[in-house]
Amino acid sequence: MRDKFLYLSSNSVFYIGVTTSKRFWWTSQRQIANQVGGRLLHIEVSMANKKEAWKDEMYGDEVREKIIEFAESGWSSIPTEERDMWFSRFKFWGVFHQRSGQESYFMMRLANTNGALTAEQLRVIGEVADEYAAGPVSNPEFGDTWIDFTTRQSIQLHWLKLEDVPAIWEKLEAVGLSSRSSGGDTMRNISGCPVAGRDKHEFVDAQPVLDEITAKLRADDDLANMPRKFNISVTGCREGCAQDSINGIGLEPARKRIDGEQTRGFNVRVGGGLGGREPRKARSLDVFVRPENAYAVVRGFVELYFEHGDRENRQKNRSRFFVDDWGTAKIRERLQESYVNWELRDEGENLRDEYTYNAGAAPEEGKHDHIGVHEQADGDYYVGLSVPIGRLTAGETIQLADLADEYGSGAMRLTRRQNPLILDIPESNLDSVLDSPILEVHSPEPSVFTRGAMACTGSEFCSLALTETKARMAVMLRWLQSNVNMPDDVEQVKIHYSGCTADCGQAMTADIGFHGMRARKDGEMVEALDVGVGGGIGDDPSFVEWIRQRVPADEVPGLVSNLLTAFAETRTDGQTFRQWVGATGKDDLTEFAEPEETDYQDPCLHDAKQSWYPFADKEGPAPTAADGTPLATESDDWRHRRSDHRRH
């Protein structure tokens, strides 16, 4: 254990003490509650956690120059024994090394607050994908080049070469895009209502708050090194589409009478999150803030977690566990004492009883996503497209950008359900948009299954995932559409697929959630899924109950069919799937969800992450040089290691 002491005054910070590696200069100016003279900050960090040691040496903005240096020198210039360390640091800049067997290939994640994009930006992303994101093998469902929309309203690109990263950054940054602070132990992309400022029924405009947090908080390099990743959401809409319940800190719309006047602002919730089969609903902090004070409270909680969050046990140091340990009363008290310089007000009246987004509510209660044609506050319209599982080819990406430019203002947004919106469409242009060929593929009126589908990256690229996700989900959706009939009043059944229990695909909040697993079938290792039901957000968040474990992937569509058939046959009039699950006992649900082999053909049942790519029929070329040619010595070494691993 080593200590750091920092003395903070109103306009300067003085370092006192030494880390094991270098001086730790923290230069951020902070609001200090009623302490004109400043205060002494004491942070303790154990060096037992190797990732904390790596971050202490270097993290945040300074990592960029090292990425550029390695890119100029090539993949082989990264010392083999240091690769884990550098890859951990690269993540802050959204540069992720792909899984084993894909050495020298990287994914890049962008950061665009609230899913905000322009047509020009999306077009450049499509062009970058077309030029740089073609891998050494095609995906049977999606071809050679594509982009992925994420569940935090951002975009990912795969199969990138490290040597190309500086050129990719140059192209993206020329149109105002960035990959900074989109991964690693830092504040991730800030989520919010994608139609903030345009929503016809918006309660309070959250866009200024989102912009302020982005400009002042996420941009602060002194707060780059958080104990773990940290999620922020702000929404002023009535549907609750930022899903504040599953964020580290979430601002939800609320009203409160102040000085005799009804005031609109936000209530504050903290400590929500998914993953590791230990989800938490965000808890009320019993604080109401006006929009002009919202930033300071968010910053205060971020700094509190930064200073006091656990940096030793990475299994228990997410902000949700910090809230478990401290409790909301203590957190509120500490915020008041040390982080804000006005008296915190008790929470106001929230609008949670109006929340319908991902809530499992009936369609007539309100919109549960942004798909379809919707009128804006100014009389124009936005159109939400369904992109099943969030994957768009490079060509489609450019087509979509052109469509937004031609018939709208060029403004676009991404949603938390992996779908794009085209904004500011005059009524006179609606027919032209709806007649566009790309809407025949990505419809604003999708089927009940495609509308509710989401999937994480899966074992195609992710080192944590146990199963492939996106191609399997695409094939499964087609099978369900052809083989399962749903009642006419059911518009959506949310099926979310995560390749592991980290739950990036948000399976815990689905009507039907999948977590990737492995199992043995007929003496062979196969990809398998745990199946849970009954999750949702809305006014009363709940997480799925797991009713079947380790079901071979080829038996899952039959299971879903049997479960949905039981739902259709036994539901009461107007009952949604989530409501039906809540009214049905676990034993009955388990019995209904009987695994069954059908004519469904699984795309990679037997891979179970044994090959370098789920759909490859030959050995992989990795690692490769900048032009894609194998680096023979490293490639041969890797093949020998894989061969030895399989024998043992």
The two tokens of residue 602 are 């699984």
Q: 499 near 518, Cβ under 8 Å?
A: no
Q: Which of 281, 352, 284, 294 is nearest to 320 (CA)?
A: 281
Which own/partner pairs from 561-565 qualify as long-range (CB within 8 Å, at least 24 positions apart)?
Answer: 561/480, 561/483, 561/484, 561/596, 561/598, 562/592, 562/593, 562/594, 562/596, 563/512, 563/533, 563/589, 563/592, 563/593, 564/484, 564/486, 564/493, 565/484
User: What secondary structure letter does DSSP report for 215?
Assistant: I
pLDDT bin (cut points 50, 70, 90) of residue 608 is: confident
229 is annotated as an active-site residue: yes
| Peptide bond preceding 623 in cis form (omega within 30 of 0) | yes
Which of 272, 282, 290, 300 has the alpha carbon at shortest distance from 205? 290
| Residue 30 CA: distances (Å) to CA of 3, 275, 303, 340, 420 | 21, 32, 9, 10, 37
410 torsion bin: left (phi>0), alpha (psi -120 to 50), beta (else): left
Does residue 15 surpass a pLDDT of 50?
no
What mean pLDDT comes out for the span 580-600?
Answer: 98
- The answer to whether residues 179 and 94 touch, using CB atoms and an 8 Å cutoff, is yes
Residue 642 has pLDDT above 60, yes or no: no
pLDDT digits (tens, 9 = 90+) for 362-412: 989 999 999 999 999 999 999 999 998 999 999 999 999 999 999 999 999
Residue of 229, 277, 478, 639 marked active site: 229
Radius of gyration of the chain (CA): 24
* Tens digits of residue pLDDT in 259-310: 999 999 999 999 999 999 999 999 999 999 999 999 999 999 999 999 999 9
- C-alpha 319/C-alpha 543 separation (Å) is 18
CB contact at 8 A, 120 and 130: no
Give the residue carrying structure tokens 């609109």. 264
Q: To 10 degrees, what angle do helices 63-73 and 165-173 make?
A: 130
Residue 284, CA distances (Å) to 267, 322, 506, 553 in order: 8, 14, 22, 39
- Place 531 in a pLDDT band, splitting at 50, 70 and 90: very high
Strands 232-234 and 191-192, sheet pairing: parallel
Tens digit of each residue's pLDDT (9 = 90 or more) over 469-494: 999 999 999 999 999 999 999 999 99
- Higher pLDDT, residue 647 or 110: 110
Residue 228 falls in the annotated catalytic set: yes
Question: Can you name the residues that pair with 345 across neighbouring β-strands?
Answer: 288
Give which of 376, 371, 372 is closest to 198, Cα–Cα. 376
Buried b (16+ CB within 10 A) or exposed e, 278-287: bbbbbbbbeb
Encode pLDDT of 62-81 as tens digits. 999 999 999 999 999 999 99
Q: Are 269 and 244 in contact (CB under 8 A)?
A: yes
| Confidence bin at 48 (pLDDT 50/70/90) | low
499 is catalytic: yes
C-beta neighbour count of 354 within 10 angstroms: 18
Structure tokens at 398: 């450019």
* Mean pLDDT, the chain, integer: 91
**For a pLDDT cut of 70, what percent of the chain falls above it?**
90
Three-state DSSP class for 407?
helix
Tokens 């903290």 belong to residue: 270
* CA angle 363–366–367, rounded 5-degree value: 80
Check for a shared fold between 196-354 and 451-592.
yes
* Mean pLDDT computed over 623-644: 66
Separation CA 129–CA 146 (nearest Å): 6
User: What are the residue boundaries of the structural domains of the chain, listed by start?
Assistant: 1-45, 196-354, 451-592
**pLDDT attached to residue 586:** 97
**Rounded-to-10 torsion of CA 309, 314, 316, 321:** 40
Phi and psi at residue 14, in whole multiples of 5°? -115, 130
Tokens describing residue 193: 């209502």
Among residues 184, 236, 348, 505, which one is catalytic?
505
C-alpha–C-alpha distance, residues 187 and 219, integer Å: 10
8: left (phi over 0), alpha (psi -120 to 50) or beta: beta
Opening angle at CA 188, ends 111 and 405, nearest 5? 25
Annotated catalytic residue: which of 30, 55, 89, 109? Answer: 109
Identified catalytic residue from 193, 456, 462, 504: 504
Would you list the DSSP string of 131-185? HH---SS-BTTTBS-EEEE-TTS-EEEEEEEGGGHHHHHHHHHTTT---TTSSSS
Counting every residue, how long is the chain?
Answer: 648
Which among 326, 259, 323, 268 has a CA at the least distance from the CA of 295?
A: 268
* Range 451-592 has CATH code 3.40.50.700: no
pLDDT tens, position by position, 90-146: 999 999 999 999 999 999 999 999 999 999 999 999 999 999 999 999 999 999 999
How are beta strands 453-455 and 391-393 bridged, if at all?
Answer: unpaired
SS3 category, 409: coil
Catalytic annotation, pick one of 275, 408, 499, 532:
499
At the fourth CATH level, the homologous superfamily of domain 196-354 is Sulfite Reductase Hemoprotein, domain 1 (3.30.413.10)
Q: What is the pLDDT of residue 633?
A: 55
Q: Which of 91, 228, 548, 571 is catalytic?
A: 228
Q: Strands (DSSP E) along 461-605, which ranges?
A: 495-498, 512-521, 524-533, 545-552
What average pLDDT does this structure show over 194-208? 96
Give the model's pLDDT for residue 610: 86
Instruction: For residue 504, indicate whether it is catalytic.
Output: yes
